[in-house]
Amino acid sequence: GAGVSQSPSNKVTEKGKDVELRCDPISGHTALYWYRQSLGQGLEFLIYFQGNSAPDKSGLPSDRFSAERTGGSVSTLTIQRTQQEDSAVYLCASSVGGDTQYFGPGTRLTVL
């Protein structure tokens, strides 16, 4: 079956612009997660959604970052007024419940 998909695969933007990154989770997965991976580093948790519960936003680095999950499926991560330090690969994962997380291919964001 289809895995987690993300779009765009690459995004280049200018400092100060807003960007939106999209994640389509595996069908039927109730939990959705966003992580950030800087070059040569491990994954840094950003936010996760579990069913209809309030999202855990504890990993968002600043109020410029926000995420939505509409209809319990697709999620959008928005970064406002992008900064150069936001450059990274943004990875989305989904799971049934809270165990094994399956990752998408990521969106590589470059802020010039």
Partner 1 sequence: GESVGLHLPTLSVQEGDNSIINCAYSNSASDYFIWYKQESGKGPQFIIDIRSNMDKRQGQRVTVLLNKTVKHLSLQIAATQPGDSAVYFCAEKPNNTDKLIFGTGTRLQVFP
**d(C-alpha 98, C-alpha 28), whole Å:** 13
| DSSP annotation string for 25-45 | PPTT--EEEEEEE-TT--EEE
Contact at 8 Å (CB) between 57 and 47?
yes
Quick check: 25 binds partner 1 (CB under 8 A)?
Answer: no
Q: Which residues from 41-100 bind partner 1, rule CB under 8 A?
A: 41-45, 48, 50, 56, 58-59, 91, 93, 95, 98-100
Pairing outcome for strands 102-103 and 88-95: antiparallel
CB of 48 to partner 1, least distance (A): 6
The count of chain residues that interact with partner 1, using the rule CB under 8 A, is 27
- Residue numbers at the binding site for partner 1 (CB under 8 A): 4, 31, 33, 35, 40-45, 48, 50, 56, 58-59, 91, 93, 95, 98-106
